[in-house]
Amino acid sequence: MIEMTMTLTHLGTGSRGNATLLETEQAKVLIDQGFSGAQLEKRLGRLNLHPTDIDYIFITHHHGDHGGGAAVSQKRWSMKIQANHRTAEELGLLPELTHHFEALDVIRVSEDLAILPVPVPHSGSDNVAFVASHNGHRAAVITDLGSWTDELVTHVRGCEHISIEANYDHNRLMNGPYPYSLKDRISGRGGHLSNDQTGRFLAQVCTPDTKSISLTHLSEKNNQPHLAESTVLYHIDELFTGDISISLQDGPERSHYIGKSVEKELLEKQTRSNG
């Protein structure tokens, strides 16, 4: 099959580490590296890849579950990293292997992959979401935000694939064992999205072009996959007819294919001509 797709595979998402693989014909990048070196090597190995196969790591923000494995990746494998200034400084990244980007500056990774960092509100960090573009097709990876901006809605609307956190069920969080201060931080503007908030955000950005959604970064104590999926679908049921999946801590998981292969296009043409 001649591929004309961008492939997105979560190596794992959650409070114990996050990393997402984006592949095109010409590029391989990771979004976040919150795992140990051994874990990253193990998870990529399940996809028949090695850390040295990765062209760049893009870091959303410096919190340990997203960027904690970035420095060791540079020291062990000389991996190149893209991050904003604060994130690079907080993680102690090696200057010779680090490229600093500014928010809303398009980063051209290869002829068939460009990545746009979009600011998102998350307390204690200079966090960004990433929108990846491949031959006219777009995918968004959005994590660790307690609310959203009109700017984020504008850039994510109509993406073919959207990976976004659905961190907690509101009732489970409020009735759970966490101290009030932690509950307040998680549910605040700079915290995380609840299932309900994620559904309301997706209701603003889903269009007929949106073919798949992956719900990520579910709290192991304050959420359950069936709660996340049912709550989100309540908000987008009339807008979204594609595929919805849950990304959990242990991966890699099923891959999402953004764009169409030549084989699929030929099959569709053949089906139309036969009809």
In a domain, 99, yes or no: yes
* pLDDT of 194 above 90: yes
Q: What is the pLDDT of residue 270?
A: 55
What is the count of structural domains for the chain?
1
In a domain, 130, yes or no: yes
SS (H, E, C) the chain: CCCCCEEEEEEECCCCCCEEEEECCCCEEEECCCCCHHHHHHHHHCCCCCHHHCCEEECCCCCHHHHCCHHHHHHHHCCCEEECHHHHHHHCCCHHHEEECCCCCCEEEECCEEEEEEECCCCCCCCEEEEEEECCEEEEEECCCCCCCHHHHHHHCCCCEEEEECCECHHHHHCCCCCHHHHHHHHCCCCCCEHHHHHHHHHHHCCCCCCEEEEECCCCCCCCHHHHHHHHHHHHCCCCCCEEEECCCCCCCCEEEECCCHHHHHHHHHHHHHC
In a domain, 174, yes or no: yes
Domain span including residue 15: 6-269
In a domain, 150, yes or no: yes
* pLDDT of 275 above 70: no
CATH code of residue 125: 3.60.15.10
Percent of the residues in the chain that have a pLDDT greater than 90, as a whole number: 90
Q: What is the pLDDT of residue 123?
A: 86
In a domain, 274, yes or no: no
In a domain, 275, yes or no: no
Q: What is the pLDDT of residue 124?
A: 83
In a domain, 1, yes or no: no
In a domain, 182, yes or no: yes
Predicted TM-score of the model (pTM):
0.92
